[in-house]
Amino acid sequence: MSTAFAPLPETSTSDLVADRLREAILDGSLRPGDRLVETELAERFDISRGPVREAIRLLAPEGLVVLRRNRGAVVASPTFNDVLEVYAVRMSLGSLALANAVRAGVADATEYLTAVSLLEPLRDPEVQADAYAMLEADLAFQDAVLSLSHLPRISAMLEQSARDAASFVRLLGITYDSTDHDDLVARHERTLAALAGNDPEVAVSAWQHHIRSTVAEFARGYADADGTDIHQHPLAAEILGPAAQETP
C-alpha cells in the first residue's frame, strides 16, 4: 500500500483514524480491494494498533470496509448488484415508512416542516453543480421524510441503506451527470404533497417512482463505466418493473 499518512498526535482517537481512512477511501487514495493492515497503518499513523483496529470496525457499517474472518480487512469493492440490493431495500422499506407516516398524520408536525426545509438545498445551483453535495443533500431530505414514520427500527435500516448508497456511488465513481434536478425536486414535492394530503397510495407511488428514476440514472452512469446492462441483473425487474426486461 503506497498511500502516505502523516503521523497522528498522541491524543488521536479511533474516530480520528476512521476520519483519515474514510477520507482516503472516498478521495481514491485507497482503492477498492486494498488491504488495511493494522500494523502497517499503526506505523504510518505512529500510534498503537488498538485505535486502528477500532477505526476499521467503525468503517465497516458504512459499507466502506469489508471485514474478513482470519484475513483482515479490505476496502469494499461494491458491484452493481450491491447497489440494486440497497435500492430494493429502500423501495420496500421506504414504502412501508411513508404509508405509516400518512396514517400517523404528520403534516402538521415540526418534523414535517424540517423535511420541507431540507428540500431547499436541492434547489440551490451551487449544490446542484457538485454531484456529491447533491447526493448528500438528497439523502438528508429522504432520511427526514422517512423518519416521519416513527418506526425507529425501520428508519435505522433506511438510514444505513442511505449510507451504503452514498458509499457505493463514491466507490464506483458515479456522478449522475445527466440528472434532471428539476424533476428530482418535483418528485420529492409530490411525496410531500401526498403526506400533507393524507394520501398513502400517492405517497408510496411517488416514492417508488423516485427510486426507479434514481436506479435508471445510476444504471446509465454505470453502463458508461463498464458496459454492464442493467436488465441482466435479477433485481432490475423487482425495482424497475417487468417492462425493464423488455427494454433493449
**For the segment 211-229, what is each residue's pLDDT rounded down to a tens digit?**
998 888 777 766 555 555 6
Share of the chain above pLDDT 70, in %: 86
pLDDT number for residue 173:
74
Cell numbers 436488465: residue: 231
Structural domains in the chain plus CATH codes: 14-75 (1.10.10.10), 80-246 (1.20.120.530)
Task: Give the residue-averaged pLDDT of 82-95.
Answer: 92
Task: Give the residue-averaged pLDDT of 230-241.
Answer: 73
pLDDT number for residue 81:
81
Share of the chain above pLDDT 90, in %: 46
The set of residues, in sequence order, having a beta carbon less than 8 Å from that of 71 and lying 6+ positions away, is none
Strand partners, 74: 35, 66
| Residue 78 scores a pLDDT above 80 | yes
pLDDT number for residue 244:
42
- Whole-number Å distance between alpha carbons of 2 and 10: 24
| Residue 246 scores a pLDDT above 60 | no
**For the segment 89-115, what is each residue's pLDDT rounded down to a tens digit?**
999 999 999 999 998 888 778 899 999
pLDDT number for residue 227:
53
pLDDT number for residue 1:
58
pLDDT number for residue 171:
81
- Whole-number Å distance between alpha carbons of 40 and 134: 35
Choice between 67 and 179, residue whose per-residue pLDDT is larger: 67
pLDDT number for residue 107:
77
CA-to-CA dists, residue 27 to 14, 31, 74, angstroms: 20, 9, 16
The 8 Å CB, 24+ separation contacts for 39-46 are 40/1, 41/5, 41/17, 44/4, 44/5, 44/7, 45/5, 45/7, 45/8, 45/12, 45/17, 45/20, 46/7, 46/8
pLDDT number for residue 137:
94
Q: In what order do the strands lie in the sheet with 35-36?
A: 35-36, 72-75, 65-68
Task: Give the residue-averaged pLDDT of 186-193.
Answer: 94
Q: Are 163 and 142 in contact (CB under 8 A)?
A: no
DSSP state of 217: H
Choice between 170 and 177, residue whose per-residue pLDDT is larger: 170
Q: What's the length of the chain?
A: 248
| Residue 200 scores a pLDDT above 80 | yes
